[in-house]
């Protein structure tokens, strides 16, 4: 029997916040796999702020998704057909499966995951790209040291929540910036942050001043815009600013920081980081994060919604703040 594959494809490049007509939902017949290929049944797909940048035509660290192509996304699923000796039937794999129910691949870029050790959705969250970003971003780029003050924006999100917990493990004072009381309570009461700044309901600069009275040694930024500009005011000597994302700027013309001279005065550094640069060390990070999860030092939260038909609506939760932890779409039950 021929399988039908529901796919979300890019229909047009958006201006500002993507609208429903940015994508089309298609249902196409799957061809038979060739020698060396595998057929993956995708169970979960990762929704990440970076996806907004991937549908622009501008130059970036990764080629843009082309009009008519399946929307790029990380996935985790099960191999249901195989003509590739490296992948057995029933094996779960994670990789760039795209926003579709089934993926045919030669296996390149997919790696096996052990769903007996951790639930499959965790391999596109804390044990996937967000976890890798947090691990290498705060340790390799942030170069944190015990007793330093670390400020994290987007602190209740997939990356920020892990960044803060790793910094706590390493003995830092950790302050998170998040939107709304629920998120602020979450990062303090459940994740163990030392303080929280509710940027939606209090003055940002006053909040940073109150929580970081001696200044900021490391600022891990997922948001950009006004939040980045405000944090620059409070940098200490030799501070490090890690630019991981700028979610507040993705759907408009970006605004650059006005307070950049603080970098000069404080001999501070600011550097962008892309997780793909650390691909050869993912296994090391995964093993360490898994140990922290088992020991209870890291808590993993997945915010899961269902249905490929709901892709656009769920995707927007990345930008309207209506999610907590890692945003995931369940494709096939």
The DSSP secondary-structure symbol of 165 reads H
For residue 253, pLDDT beyond 70: yes
**Residue 291: its pLDDT value, please?**
97
For residue 49, pLDDT beyond 90: yes
Could you write out the DSSP letters of every residue in 44-61?
A: EEE--THHHHHTS-S--S
For 27-43, what is the mean pLDDT? 97
Q: At what angle do helices 158-169 and 282-295 cross, to 10 degrees?
A: 70
**Residue 332: its pLDDT value, please?**
77
CA pair distance 297, 166, nearest whole angstrom: 8
Say if residues 290 and 297 touch (Cβ distance below 8 Å).
no
For residue 283, pLDDT beyond 90: yes
Greatest extent of the chain over all pairs of C-alpha atoms, in Å: 68
**What does the angle CA 57 – CA 60 – CA 61 come to, to the nearest 5 degrees?**
140
Could you write out the DSSP letters of every residue in 171-218?
A: T-EEEEEESSHHHHHIIIIIT--SEEEETTTS-HHHHHHHH-TT-EEE
Where are the extended beta strands (E) located within 71-198?
75-82, 92-95, 102-105, 111-113, 149-153, 173-178, 195-198
Residue 156, Cβ density class (10 Å: 0-12 exposed, 13-18 middle, ≥19 buried): buried
Q: How many CA atoms lie within 13 A of 195 on its CB side?
A: 15
Instruction: Work out the mean pLDDT of the chain and round it to a whole number.
Output: 95
Percent of the chain residues past pLDDT 70, beyond the cut = 99
**Residue 59: its pLDDT value, please?**
82
pLDDT in tens, 17-33: 999 999 999 999 999 99
Task: Answer with the residue of higher pLDDT: 165 or 323.
Answer: 165
Neighbour count for residue 244 (Cβ, 10 Å):
28
pTM of structure = 0.94
How many residues are present in the chain? 333
Residue 184, Cβ density class (10 Å: 0-12 exposed, 13-18 middle, ≥19 buried): buried
For 90-115, what is the mean pLDDT? 96
pLDDT in tens, 220-247: 999 999 999 999 999 999 999 999 999 9
Which sequence spans correspond to the domains of the chain? 4-125+300-330, 129-276
pLDDT band (50, 70, 90) for residue 289: very high
pLDDT band (50, 70, 90) for residue 1: low
pLDDT band (50, 70, 90) for residue 197: very high
- Using DSSP's 3-state secondary structure scheme, residue 111 falls into strand
CA pair distance 187, 195, nearest whole angstrom: 8
In CATH terms, the superfamily for domain 129-276 is NAD(P)-binding Rossmann-like Domain (3.40.50.720)
CA pair distance 154, 197, nearest whole angstrom: 11
CA pair distance 317, 52, nearest whole angstrom: 12
pLDDT band (50, 70, 90) for residue 305: very high
Residue 18's φ and ψ, nearest 5 degrees, are -60, 140
- Look at the domain 4-125+300-330 and name its fold: Quinone Oxidoreductase; Chain A, domain 1 (3.90.180)
Question: Which of 329, 124, 133 is CA-nearest to residue 222?
Answer: 133
For residue 94, pLDDT beyond 90: yes
For 144-148, what is the mean pLDDT? 98
């Amino acid at each position: 029997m021929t399988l039908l594959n529901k796919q979300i494809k890019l229909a047009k490049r958006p201006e500002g916040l993507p609208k429903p007509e940015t994508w089309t939902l298609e249902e196409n017949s799957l061809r038979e796999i060739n020698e060396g290929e595998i057929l993956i049944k995708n169970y979960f797909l990762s929704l990440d702020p970076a996806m907004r940048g991937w549908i622009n035509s501008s130059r970036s660290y990764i080629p843009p998704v082309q009009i008519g192509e399946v929307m790029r996304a990380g996935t985790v699923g099960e191999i249901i057909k195989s003509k590739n000796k490296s992948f057995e039937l029933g094996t779960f794999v994670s990789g760039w499966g795209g926003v579709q129910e089934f993926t045919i691949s030669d296996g390149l870029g997919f790696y096996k995951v052990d769903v007996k050790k951790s639930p499959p959705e965790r391999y596109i969250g804390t044990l996937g790209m967000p976890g890798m970003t947090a691990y290498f971003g705060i340790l390799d780029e942030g170069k944190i040291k015990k007793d330093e003050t670390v400020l994290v924006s987007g602190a209740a999100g997939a990356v920020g929540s892990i960044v803060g917990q790793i910094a706590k493990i390493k003995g830092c004072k950790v302050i998170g910036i998040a939107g709304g009381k629920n998120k602020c309570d979450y990062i303090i009461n459940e994740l163990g942050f030392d303080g929280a700044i509710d940027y939606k309901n209090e003055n940002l600069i006053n909040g940073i001043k109150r929580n970081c009275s001696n200044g900021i040694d490391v600022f891990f930024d997922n948001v950009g815009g006004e939040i980045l500009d405000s944090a620059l005011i409070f940098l200490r000597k030799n501070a490090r600013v890690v630019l991981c994302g700028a979610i507040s700027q993705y759907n408009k013309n970006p605004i650059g920081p006005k307070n950049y001279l603080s970098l000069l005065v404080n001999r501070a550094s600011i550097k962008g980081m892309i997780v793909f640069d650390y691909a050869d060390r993912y296994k090391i990070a995964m093993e360490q994060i898994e140990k922290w999860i088992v020991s209870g030092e890291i808590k993993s939260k997945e915010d899961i919604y269902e249905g490929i038909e709901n892709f656009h609506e769920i995707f927007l939760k990345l930008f309207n703040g209506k999610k907590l932890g890692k945003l995931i779409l369940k494709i096939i039950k």
